[in-house]
Amino acid sequence: MKTTSVKTATKTSANSMLVLGIESSCDETAVAVLLRTESGDIHILSSLIASQDEAHAPYGGVVPEIAARAHMQKIEGLVLAAVQKANIEFKNLHAVAATAGPGLIGGVITGLMCAKGLALSLDIPLLAINHLEGHALSPRLTDHCPFPYLLLLVSGGHTQLLNVEGLGQYKRLGSTVDDAAGEAFDKTAKIMCLGFPGGPALEKVAKNGDAGAISLPHPFKGKPHADFSFAGLKTATARAYANFGVATKKNKSDLAASFQRTVTNIVCERTERAMDMFKRGQPKGVPLRFVVAGGVAANQSIRKGLETLCAKHGFALIAPPPIYCTDNAAMIALAGVERLAAGYSDGLDAKARPRWPLDEKSARHNPASGSGRKGPKS
């Protein structure tokens, strides 16, 4: 049966809205309750996250089967805790929103089925949310961030540059053709035996290293497009680590710092291309806004590089607090609130999707990272 996503009149469109959000696309089980007032102000009444780091640490990465089981074990208790912390009752909710993709399908199914059960039992609308849209809208949790804006979505599974023209209106300017930046961080950390989760572990080790100690490749440098590539960099870093033989603490610090600076340079150089593309599409005098979101947006080296870049090109930099950069349910609840306010809801036939590009038209006709039986990734 085809998933339905329809725009209908809703009694809550002009009033305050209370939405429960569920996020379970990877290895974090998260539930939040969010209130949007009649004036449009956003209040996060609760935002809880149950981490699975300890369960996945022995493997150096997320194991999908373990993640799916953990979501099933934790989600019911987390929903109850989020409602209690928000000091509301289930009957007060206007809608429930849940990640419907993209992500590890076992986790996505768990969260979406929980949301469907709540929507059915409470007789309230269901909002099946694109996880990437949650990230795209996340700065609006805490900042005034009107459309349009240029978005760098940089996470464990995705690295994209998009023109965010409005709710549901996303135009891809660039994407990774292979690995995502976050994936490159995590796999490099695993190769270097730095621990899990890999991105934060590598950033910590890099603080004591010489970022100029080891020369690493910069894919697509100078190319007249805004696409990314990190696979070659990841391979070159692995070879440099192997060449150490028995790596010392200094070797690890220098390589981590060199890798992090190279990723920062790649992200900033590709983003600069997208800024030029974005500017050409905007009317003269329109304020320029640049948003960075996703788990890798918490990396301080990348943030500082983007701050410098925005100052150079006249963009106002908007970034969610680190707690809302990584996977969280508040951003899913926000996407649900905004869709509900626009009059949208989804049927109980909404499907869990392992792949779900934000710019589906571009992904179908010109996939940046190839396409398979699950469809294009970006």
**Whole-number Å distance between alpha carbons of 326 and 318:** 15
pLDDT at 9: 36
pLDDT at 3: 37
Tell me the fold of 5-139+325-376. Answer: Nucleotidyltransferase; domain 5 (3.30.420)
Q: Which CATH number fits domain 146-319: 3.40.50.300, 3.30.360.10, 3.30.1160.10, 3.30.420.40?
A: 3.30.420.40
**Whole-number Å distance between alpha carbons of 276 and 274:** 5
Q: What is the mean pLDDT of residues 264-284?
A: 95
Q: Do domains 5-139+325-376 and 146-319 have the same CATH topology?
A: yes
| Total-model pTM | 0.91
The closest of 131, 158, 160 to 24, measured between CA atoms, is 131
Digit-coded pLDDT (tens) for 297-339: 999 999 999 999 999 999 999 999 989 998 999 999 999 999 9
Residue 141 clears pLDDT 90, i.e. is over it = yes
Ranges assigned E (strand) in 145-279:
149-154, 159-166, 169-175
User: What's the mean pLDDT when you consider all of the chain?
Assistant: 91
**Whole-number Å distance between alpha carbons of 13 and 61:** 42
Residue 12 clears pLDDT 60, i.e. is over it = no
Report whether 146 contacts 156 (CB < 8 A): no
Share of the chain above pLDDT 90, in %: 79
pLDDT at 60: 81
Residue 98 clears pLDDT 60, i.e. is over it = yes
Report whether 5 contacts 128 (CB < 8 A): yes
Report whether 229 contacts 176 (CB < 8 A): yes
pLDDT at 244: 96
Name the band, by pLDDT with cuts 50, 70 and 90, for residue 370.
low
Residue 135 clears pLDDT 60, i.e. is over it = yes
Say which residues have a Cβ less than 8 Å from residue 315's Cβ, sequence separation at least 6: 150, 275, 288, 289, 290, 309
Name the band, by pLDDT with cuts 50, 70 and 90, for residue 61.
confident
**Whole-number Å distance between alpha carbons of 185 and 251:** 17
Name the band, by pLDDT with cuts 50, 70 and 90, for residue 284.
confident
The closest of 297, 23, 289 to 154, measured between CA atoms, is 297
pLDDT at 172: 95
Domain ranges of the chain: 5-139+325-376, 146-319
DSSP code of residue 102: S
The closest of 100, 157, 27 to 352, measured between CA atoms, is 100
pLDDT at 2: 33
pLDDT at 227: 97
Strand order in the sheet with 95-101: 5-7, 344-346, 126-130, 95-101, 17-23, 28-36, 42-51
Residue 11 clears pLDDT 50, i.e. is over it = no
Residue 13 clears pLDDT 80, i.e. is over it = no
Residue 374 clears pLDDT 70, i.e. is over it = no
Angle, helices 198-206 vs 181-191, to 10°: value is: 70
Name the band, by pLDDT with cuts 50, 70 and 90, for residue 4.
very low
Q: What is the mean pLDDT of residues 56-67?
A: 86
**Whole-number Å distance between alpha carbons of 359 and 109:** 22
pLDDT at 10: 39
Digit-coded pLDDT (tens) for 204-243: 999 999 999 999 999 999 999 999 999 999 999 999 999 9
**Whole-number Å distance between alpha carbons of 132 and 293:** 10
